[in-house]
Amino acid sequence: MTAFMVVDTLLKDPELYEQYKLLAKPLVEKFGGQYLARGGKMRVKEDSLWTPTRMVLVMFPSSDHIEAFYHSEEYQKVLAISKQSADRTVFSLEGM
């Protein structure tokens, strides 16, 4: 079943975050992921539970692909850059 990785990002160091983006994209693709949205314009309709800031939506073939990507040794090295440059909420969601 297709799964989506949803990321909300509050940038603390936009310049450093650009480095993260360059390194993360080929890893996402290596694990079968495809970016569907990456920081585009948002129109929030309701926000009583959560106020998103900068959203990224990545589609993977399955939740197992997301887990393999996120916990891979390669991504863990790149993730350290993200944690230095941004505060994030990351979750996965199974789809159709």
DSSP state of 78: H
Q: Write the burial class of residue 51 (CB in 10 Å: 0-12 exposed, 13-18 middle, 19+ buried).
A: exposed
Domains of the chain and any CATH numbers: 3-42+52-94 (3.30.70.100)
How far is it, in rounded angstroms, from Cα 65 to Cα 2? 9
* Cα distances (angstroms) measured from residue 35 to each of 45, 49, 56: 23, 25, 8
pLDDT in tens, 4-13: 999 999 999 9
Q: In terms of pTM, does the model score above 0.85?
A: yes
pLDDT in tens, 17-66: 999 999 999 999 999 999 999 989 999 999 999 999 999 999 999 999 99
